[in-house]
Chains A and B, each alone.
Chain A
Amino acid sequence: GQQVMQIPQYQHVQEGEDFTTYCNSSTTLSNIQWYKQRPGGHPVFLIQLVKSGEVKKQKRLTFQFGEAKKNSSLHITATQTTDVGTYFCALFSSGSARQLTFGSGTQLTVLP
């Protein structure tokens, strides 16, 4: 199946600083999804990107899909303590396997 590399693995920021996590694939993706998992919680769907170069915003979160559809990023402006958690990208496994493959995640810590 398709593989995706997500970086960084960990990120510590001071409250108010910006944060970005990246997902990179060696193959062209049909789409990419992003999830957030709070400590001790379960993953929550944030968004799906489908089109080349697509940019979507949710309040302080900006999601981008690369022009070549091989990479994606999630950017948080002016982080807050409520942003703490692990952010996963996930991609659709093509072929006979109809399921999502998740990246390894970026664990965000926001220091007050």
Chain B
Amino acid sequence: AQSVTQLDSHVSVSEGTPVLLRCNYSSSYSPSLFWYVQHPNKGLQLLLKYTSAATLVKGINGFEAEFKKSETSFHLTKPSAHMSDAAEYFCVVSGAYGGSQGNLIFGKGTKLSVKP
């Protein structure tokens, strides 16, 4: 079975400082991994995805994540936070079909706050 654990329910950073949102996964298969962002009253938007290609994945808005199989981690980072980054972030795993897409399994989310 697949699952994800987001290690922090809330992260607060100052504008211009680095962002680190942590995620560990569990999967019986080679997983596909995603990060989605959810702004208030808006739909979930895909930030980036890993599907067994390059382990360092670059996404939109300056975010990136690194797949580390030995640590079963897929942490999301950004060098410099912007006020507009304040939102809820979800780490997601899918892998019921040998690395291809199955149903998405979401973590509980990490709320990112950005202080001016």
A binds B: no
Q: Residues on B close to A: CB < 8 A?
A: none
Q: Residues on A close to B: CB < 8 A?
A: none
